[in-house]
Amino acid sequence: MKILEVLAKLAVVHCLWRKMLPYRVAFKKKLPTIVRFFASIPCTAIAFLGMAFGFIGTVQAQQSSGGADSSPASSSSGQSSSSFSQGSSGSGSSLTPSSLPTQSPTDSSTLQLSPPSVTLPTPALPPLGPIAEPTPSSSPATPEATPQAAPTPAPTPQFSPPTALNQNLPSAQPAGNPTYAPASVGMPSLTLDNSPQQGVGALGGIFDWAQKLRFQASIRGGYDNNINSAHGTNAITSTFSNLNGGVNYRFGAPRLSINLNLTGGITRYFNPNIVQPTEGTLGLGIAVEYRLNPRTVLSLNSSSSYQQQPNIALVGTANNSGTAAYYYTANSLSDAYQISDLYTSVTTLSESASYYPNSTSTQTNQSFSQPSITQSIRYLARPTTTAVVDYNAQEYLYKSSSFNSFGQYLALGFDHSFNPKWFWNFRMGAQTQSSKTTSLYIGPYVDSNFNWVFGNASSIGWVAHIGTQPSGTQNLSYLLAGNTGINYSQGLFSKLRFNAGLFYQISQYKDAPVISVQRQSNGLFAVVSQLQTYYQTNIQGNASLAYQYNRIFSFSLGYQYMTLQSPTIQVAEYNRGISYFQVSGDF
């Protein structure tokens, strides 16, 4: 029975040991290598050895006390207590009476085993380390929703309507268009959109108000083989000297920009046979831009000049004869409104006029006025391409109202920017013009303006136009003109530059009165006026070399050639060549 009880206890211990398997596995991970070695011994072997040693000790104790009393010692209620006292007599140990049971067993036939008095030594447990306190980062706390900053929207591009210069309006050209004027009376080419020099002006270090002033001055001398643009033997040659200069002043506010140009020049011819050896020119240019609101921009451009030589680029003055002095002005007022991100409306009121203060009988009808209104609708087809529809209505007004005429045109086109230094504006459509003295004109209308700055020191500009314009001649309301011009500039070295230009214009004078001297049947000569259609061709070319000596001074050497061809009116033909040397300074 004792064996069965031992086996039962072993079974209970084994079951408990298996139940503690998860805890043992967790505990083993924290023990040193030697502890894990002992803990790996089979649990049944440890329990069996413990119970076996306890059983053997109990049997030996009963045999030692069995001389007087052979009944096994047992404790009541299944509990017994025994104590072993080791003496020093002899070589062994003896049991004292105090170790015997004090009460007799209730059942002498049942073998009672006392608890084992011998246990296996247990190694000391390793010291436990400090328990790690949970940190906020390691705790699985639910993250709180943090407000996200709204993305900053991209700034809306500022509304920038096309400038008058990009649209090639006469009002934005340099006062008097000195590029195409005779070189002997030329003025500085100060455009309304560019200052001759950046930085503080020459007087900026003296006066605060003068920091935005720019000055340009030139001294020119040369030879002109036909100072009065006369035909054949009527041409007068002379050496000349010319002094010209200009000043630019730009100022304004965040919503207002004002740009002013004042230019002028005086020429002295040294031929003693010249009746009027001194000629002068004067020009004034104004450009104002005001941003009324983010969607509306108002612009005013004006170019006015006083001149004494024909200028091929000025409408109605290319074929003026002699050295008749005249005033010329071109003005425009435009309102650009951004309808939406893609559509823009531009309304332009403009007027060009030419006035001859000392008109002779042959120049009575050369003075004119040209008011007009233009409505443009612009559509941004691509970021670099804008489709344009232009409608224009205009009048040519003269001193004699019988030569007044009214015209209009409708054109389609585009404004395309290849890059910030390369753009092309193009228009093509149909035009009509009618007057009392000239038959109705219905024909094409073309306007093109191409500019390209390429490389480090190269640029090219090309303009072309087909349409009607004031005739600038006697007793004719308008003429049909086709003109084109190209200017090229190339830097040869760091300070040396080559400039060249060529301008061509062909004009049709339809039903124009032509005065001729004819011999009558009686042998006498008479002045006869007949209506004819004839053509005149103007060609102008120029070339120059410019050397930039330093930041201020430059030198140039150039030649200009001008010619007029008219097979019908040969007395109007002329050839003119001008060579010159110039010293310029920008301050």
**357-413, pLDDT tens digit by residue?**
876 655 556 788 999 999 999 999 999 999 999 999 999 998 888 889 999 999 999
What span, in angstroms and rounded, lies between the C-alpha atoms of 424 and 461? Answer: 10
Q: CA torsion sign, 200 to 300 to 414 to 425?
A: negative
> Would residue 123 count as lying in a domain?
no
Helices first, then strands: H and E counts in the chain: 4, 18
In a domain, 137, yes or no: no
| Domain-embedded: residue 424 | yes
Residue 17 falls inside a structural domain = yes
Give the Cβ contact number of residue 66 at 10 Å: 12
CATH of the domain at 346: 2.40.160
Is 146 inside a domain boundary? no
- Is the Cβ–Cβ distance between 285 and 192 less than 8 Å? yes
Check whether residue 244 and residue 378 sit in a common domain: yes
DSSP 64-120: HTTTT--SPP--GGG----------SSSS----GGGS-SS--S-TTS---PPPS---
With respect to residue 160, please indicate whether it lies within any of the assigned structural domains.
no
Q: Is position 382 within any domain?
A: yes
- The segments of the chain whose pLDDT lies below 70 read 1-9, 11-17, 19-156, 176, 191-210, 318-323, 359-365, 517, 526-528
Q: What is the pLDDT of residue 463?
A: 92
* 63-72 contacts, C-beta under 8 A, 24 or more apart: 64/95, 65/95, 65/100, 71/104, 71/105, 71/108, 72/105, 72/108, 72/111, 72/112
Residue 263, domain extent? 170-586
Instruction: Tell me if residue 44 falls in helix, strand or coil.
Output: helix
Half-sphere exposure of 112 (CA within 13 A, CB side): 19
Q: Which two tokens stand for residue 440?
A: 């109705």
Q: Classify residue 157: in a domain, yes or no.
A: no
The predicted-structure confidence for 58-95, as pLDDT tens digits, reads as follows 555 555 554 444 443 344 334 433 333 343 444 444 43
> 36 and 179: one domain?
no
Q: What kind and span of H or E run contains 46?
A: helix 43-64
- Residue 155: what pLDDT? 67
Please report where in the chains the tokens 């308008």 appear, as a residue.
478
- Give how many domains the chain has, as a whole number: 2
Instruction: Show Cβ contacts of residue 166 under 8 Å, excluding neighbours closer than 6 positions.
Output: 415, 423, 425, 449
